[in-house]
Structure 1
Amino acid sequence: MPIIESSYKPPFLFKNGFIATVYSGIFRKIKGLQQQRERIETRDADFLDLDWSYAEDKSDAVIILLHGLEGHAQRPYVTGTAKLFNQNGIDAVAVNFRGCSGEDNRFYHSYHSGATNDLDDVVQHCIQNKSYSKVYIKGISLGANITLKYLGEKRIIPKEIKSAIAISVPVHLNGSARELHALKNKAFAIRFRQHLVDKLKVKIKRFPDRVTVEDIKSIKTLRDFDEYYTSKAHGFLDASDYYEKASSLQFLENIEVPTLIMNALNDSFLSPECYPVKEAKANANVYLEMPKFGGHVGFIQKGNIYYSEKRALEFVQK
């Protein structure tokens, strides 16, 4: 599909990618959204906590929202989208990945950038148990990579899935990991690593044969965490094997539903490989928008409705 020319123009201060990223992640607030929690069982006997919010009138459409690394369903980039869609007649279900809802999941393994079965369980729940006839998916960052990989894998995609949106998506995980370890992103990398390590510490008491205090002390970087935990816990050989197999870039050619990818050109988390121009041009279902500004999930506009949220609504309403 032809590359979309972006019309995004942020307020002057937020042309700086670092400021846009930090403001959006720490200072943005969403008020007035009521969420109701539902717990569902996964196919492997774990659980997922889903946070629902609803349109004023009964709707036959729902958007599934997937958060980023160490996020949750109350992050503003999730609730902002949910509120906007609810105001426009579409229900929203915000997924908390395993271990991200305030309670540790049941197993040693949890979630990762390429774990698509949980998304499929949520999709099936929306269709079979909730009877939605129109399902949209919006993923952010890690959740966006899961979204694209899910749509491009060799699986049967339900006809109820009408379109999808992927925001600030690291389609090439090795390249993104390389960027996250650069000096410019040191503060972000330290924050992510600490959150991940803190969760791993919780598992020590339940899985003493799998992880020890000494093991955790050896984790100095995000890649160390993926080398020690993410890869081994989820059946990969090592971090490199995980990055290669879980990256969604290789699956874009197979996507058969209209899908919007939005990656800002000043997103410091993304490597050059994360702008899939060639793949978008080769697949009529993939729309690629690359705004000059936006940082990582920081598409700020006046009125507290982000450009990425407005574009997501426009895309599903086409």
Structure 2
Amino acid sequence: MPILKSTFKPAFQFRNGFVSTIYSGLIRKVTLEQSRERIETRDADFLDLDWSYADTSAELNTSKKSDSVIILLHGLEGHAQRPYVTGTAKVFNQNGIDAVCVNFRGCSGEGNRFYHSYHSGATDDLDDVVNHCIQEKKYSKIYIKGISLGGNVTLKYLGEDRIIPKQIKAAISISVPVHLNGSATELHKLKNKAFAIRFRKHLLDKLKVKKIQFPGILKDKDLNEIKTLREFDEFYTSVAHGFKDANDYYTKSSSLQFLPNIKVPTLVMNALNDSFLSAECYPVKEAKQNENLFLEMPDFGGHVGFIQKGDVYYNEKRAIEFVRQFDTNELNVIA
């Protein structure tokens, strides 16, 4: 599809990508009532799902259960209570759609059962959640929204050689590093040093738990030698998940190569001032060549920082608009 024209115009103070990223990630607050459900994965691990429901009795004057749900996937070392996740859930609930916020393995406050956990290209867990929504919860309409790492998982899942259930009607990916090697290079630059240090600390804290859980596999010396995110992926992510090395992991897990195969209407929104993304993370060619792929590139927004006046962020507003209108001609297409 042609590229979508963005109408996002934030207040002056939020035109700075660093400011909008920090405000969205550390300052924003969202109040949402959630209930937790634990499901078993196909490999005998578990996922914790945090549910919130449409107020259908108030919105639709009926007690009928919603037939629609949005599956929300968080970013690297996030969880299902992060405001960029709960903000979307709240908007969809207000529009008559249930929401299930997925905690990736080890991200719900409790470590998972195995040495391996989650990564940017692990799509089987998403498939398990989709099947749970269809088989156990009986939803007839499913939407998926992934943020950052979760966005890459979403796009890769939709473009892989698998049968996508007919219940999946649309998807949205926000601030998504579709080219993992390029994004990793950007994260290691001075402009992102504060973010890289924070990610590294959280990831190493998880490895320290693994060290206790699986004695003999990890040594203090090994953990002390991990100085960068790429070294973490070299030492742990690639080895634990069956890749040859970090480059092999980045190459095989990047969603960019799967975009041509996507057959579900999908919106990708990457801000042009997102310091986490490399030039390869703006898939203009792929969007123009795939009628199901819509690319919006606002000038501003940073990394998941699409702040606008009011409680609803621009990317959340666009998400609900997209699932309602993707099959119309109201998409602000650039000629």
Give TM-score scaled by structure 2 length. Answer: 0.94
| Equivalent-residue separation in structure 2 for 1:312 and 1:227 (angstroms) | 35
| Equivalent-residue separation in structure 1 for 2:309 and 2:104 (angstroms) | 30
1:77 to 43, 65, 84: 84
2:258 to 251, 265, 275: 251
Displacement of 1:195 in angstroms is 0.2
2:315 to 288, 305, 308: 308
1:21-100 to 2 correspondences below 5 Å: 21-31=21-31, 33-57=32-56, 58-100=65-107
Name the structure 1 match of 2:179: 172
Range with bigger deviation, 209-218 or 167-176: 209-218
2:210 to 175, 179, 203: 203
Displacement of 1:209 in angstroms is 2.5
1:260-271 to 2 correspondences below 5 Å: 260-271=267-278
Letter in structure 1 aligned against 2:126: L
Name the structure 1 match of 2:18: 18
Name the structure 1 match of 2:166: 159
| Equivalent-residue separation in structure 2 for 1:208 and 1:242 (angstroms) | 25
Q: Secondary structure of the residue that 1:264 maps to in structure 2?
A: coil
2:146 to 139, 148, 172: 139
Question: After TM superposition, which residue ranges in structure 1, 4 or more long, deviate above 2 angstroms?
Answer: none
| Equivalent-residue separation in structure 1 for 2:184 and 2:210 (angstroms) | 24
2:134 to 124, 127, 136: 127
Letter in structure 1 aligned against 2:45: D
Q: What is the percentage of aligned positions where both structures have the same residue?
A: 78
| Equivalent-residue separation in structure 2 for 1:6 and 1:67 (angstroms) | 23
| Equivalent-residue separation in structure 1 for 2:230 and 2:49 (angstroms) | 29
Q: Deviations over 1:188-235 (max 9, x none)?
A: 000000000000000111212221111100100000000000000000
2:190 to 167, 179, 183: 183
> Does 1:225 find its partner at 2:224?
no
> Does 1:235 find its partner at 2:242?
yes
Q: Secondary structure of the residue that 2:5 maps to in structure 1?
A: coil
Q: Deviations over 1:278-299 (max 9, x none)?
A: 0000000000000000000000
Q: Secondary structure of the residue that 2:208 maps to in structure 1?
A: helix
Letter in structure 2 aligned against 1:9: K
Displacement of 1:113 in angstroms is 0.0
Letter in structure 2 aligned against 1:209: G
Letter in structure 2 aligned against 1:19: V
Q: Secondary structure of the residue that 2:161 maps to in structure 1?
A: coil
Give TM-score scaled by structure 1 length. Answer: 0.99
Letter in structure 1 aligned against 2:247: S
Q: Deviations over 1:110-142 (max 9, x none)?
A: 000000000000000000000000000000000
| Equivalent-residue separation in structure 1 for 2:138 and 2:132 (angstroms) | 9
Letter in structure 1 aligned against 2:54: A
